[in-house]
Amino acid sequence: MENQNGHLTGKVAFVTGGSRGMGAAIVKRLAAEGANAIFTHSGNNPEKAALVIAEVEKFGGKGAAIVANNERPEDITRAIRQVVADYGKIDLLINNAGVFSYKSTQESTLGDFDRMIAVNVRAVFVAMQEVAQQMPEGGRIITIGSNVADRVSDGNMGLYGMSKSALIGLNKGMARELGSRNIT
């Protein structure tokens, strides 16, 4: 397979949660556009991660899978620093990893709340903060949100909706901070 138009040739993309689902599709598309696509995964299914890397390599790019638990800020920081050490930079950060709990707010425990915030909000903050310190001018940060941030259509999605709503404010603030460096 060849890359589709190569407009990301030479770029380094870092995707959280890239071994399955939407994350894997994002990683493959980045590779199809010419990027080196590095992603994190939980480590629970290394075979899936290996299949995604094989797809990246079919497009002629470099791929790597890094085991990282998004509940642990040090894992996110370590992964980002590893990518910068190995590739010299990160041009694109795609915050994709997330958790979903289908449980009413009243049934949810403090542990459910803490995990939702840790993975869906704090990990995004940590990744953005770490990457922004070294991202070159013209870089891009993309955070996967949800329509549930604005329209919680079910009583069992309150915590999830809250976590995705928090990302709106975080992204808007980071856009203001990084705009002068042409980072969107």
How far is it between the farthest Cα atoms of the chain?
Answer: 51
State how far the Cα of 184 lies from the Cα of 173, in Å rounded to an integer.
Answer: 11
Question: Nearest CA to 85 among 61, 109, 64?
Answer: 64
Cα separation, 65 vs 121, whole angstroms:
22
Tell me the mean pLDDT per 10 residues along the chain, length 184: 70 96 96 96 94 92 94 98 97 97 94 97 98 95 92 91 95 96 96
- Tell me the two tokens of residue 69: 């638990």
- The pLDDT value recorded for residue 34 is 94
- DSSP helix/strand/coil, 36: strand
Query: What pLDDT score does 2 carry?
Result: 45
List, by residue number, the catalytic residues.
Answer: 160
Q: How far is CA 4 from the centre of its chain?
A: 22
What residues are paired with 67 via a beta bridge?
Answer: 41
Overall CATH class of domain 12-181: alpha beta
Residue 1 has a pLDDT of: 37
Q: What is the pTM of this model?
A: 0.93
